[in-house]
Amino acid sequence: MQADKKRLVILISGSGSNLQAFIDHCASGQLQAQIVAVICNKPGAYGLERAAQAGINTHVIEHGDYANRESFDAALADLVDSYQADAVILAGFMRILTPVFVDRFLGRLLNIHPSLLPKYPGLNTHQRAIDAQDSHAGVSVHFVTAELDGGPVILQAEQAIEAQDTAESLAKKVLHKEHIIYPMATNWLLTGRLALHEDGAYLDGKILPKTGILLD
Ligand code: GRF
């Protein structure tokens, strides 16, 4: 472990392509950080293999082993805390976190959500954008607060919806953009440019609009 580098803990449930983007950005030095642990709530998730291949500590923690949501969240929070994380990155972590977890990491807890928030919190975002005949789908990086997919947005990227697009084809195109904007927003947080205040997200001392910054 390098003492001078900021410490990331990344939570996943699935394929971990966003995790891979962080691994690559750390390796190339684009992100001055080290991933100190990957925690997953689904045994066998491919992201665990990506982490192991990169030599990162992994943990599997399953909610079925806990009496209720709060006790799971408390155990998860203790595990994350044991790594003294500067930032906690939810990267396809498919479990709603209660204030027991969220409040402990407020201001250093980020999520990526595949829609242009505040549109389409929750699931099936790309299909919902197609069904609504939106011109664009997209993705948002936001601070996590107790409200589901509702914390202040930091950075968004858009993806035009074409006539032949399906939810799957859109998801693929949007993922490419996720892999750019998530490490970018995290870098702002780790370098002290980005902060969460009561009235919203601030970048370089200025409050961001409700939909964050749109990446060109
Ligand atoms: C991404 O679409 C992300 O926006 C959403 O979950 C998916 C995770 O994909 N929160 P991956 O596991 O990083 O490939």
DSSP assignment of 111-157, as one string? EEESS-TTS--SS-HHHHHHHTT-SEEEEEEEE--SSTT-SPEEEEE
Q: What is the pLDDT of residue 216?
A: 77
Residue nearest to ligand 1 atom 3, measured at CA: 92
Compute the mean pLDDT over every residue in the chain, rounded to the nearest whole number.
96
| Predicted confidence (pLDDT) per residue in 60-75, tens digit | 999 999 999 999 999 9
Residue 41 in contact with ligand 1 by CB distance below 6 A: no
User: CA Rg, the chain, in Å?
Assistant: 17
Give the span between the Cα atoms of 126 and 119, in whole angstroms. Answer: 11
Band of pLDDT at residue 1, cut at 50, 70 and 90: low
Which of 133 and 150 is assigned the larger pLDDT?
A: 133
Distance (angstroms) between ligand 1 centre and the Cα of 18 equals 6
Calculate mean pLDDT across residues 91-95.
96
Max Cα distance, the chain (Å): 50
Task: Report DSSP letters for the chain, one per residue.
Answer: --TTSEEEEEEESS--HHHHHHHHHHHHTSS-EEEEEEEESSTT-HHHHHHHHTT--EEE--GGGSSSHHHHHHHHHHHHHTTT-SEEEESS--SPPPHHHHHHHTTSEEEEESS-TTS--SS-HHHHHHHTT-SEEEEEEEE--SSTT-SPEEEEEEEEPPTT--HHHHHHHHHHHHHHHHHHHHHHHHTTSEEEETTEEEETTEEPPTT-EEP-
Q: Is the pLDDT of residue 182 over 90?
A: yes
Q: What is the pLDDT of residue 144?
A: 97
Which residues lie below 8 Å from residue 19, measured CB to CB, with a gap of 6+? 10, 12, 35, 38, 47, 50, 51, 91, 92
Q: Are 18 and 182 in contact (CB under 8 A)?
A: yes
Distance (angstroms) between ligand 1 centre and the Cα of 164 equals 22
Q: What is the pLDDT of residue 94?
A: 94
Band of pLDDT at residue 147, cut at 50, 70 and 90: confident
Calculate mean pLDDT across residues 80-93.
98
Q: Is the pLDDT of residue 121 over 90?
A: yes
Calculate mean pLDDT across residues 113-129.
97
Which of 95 and 2 is assigned the larger pLDDT?
A: 95
- Mutation choice for ligand 1 from 172, 178, 181, 182, CB with most ligand atoms inside 8 A: 178
Q: What is the pLDDT of residue 188?
A: 98
**Identity of the amino acid at 188:** W
Band of pLDDT at residue 149, cut at 50, 70 and 90: confident
Q: Give the residue from 54, 55, 47, 52 showing the smallest Cα distance to 11.
A: 47
Residue 113 in contact with ligand 1 by CB distance below 6 A: yes
Count CB-CB contacts under 10 A for residue 101: 25
Calculate mean pLDDT across residues 185-212.
98
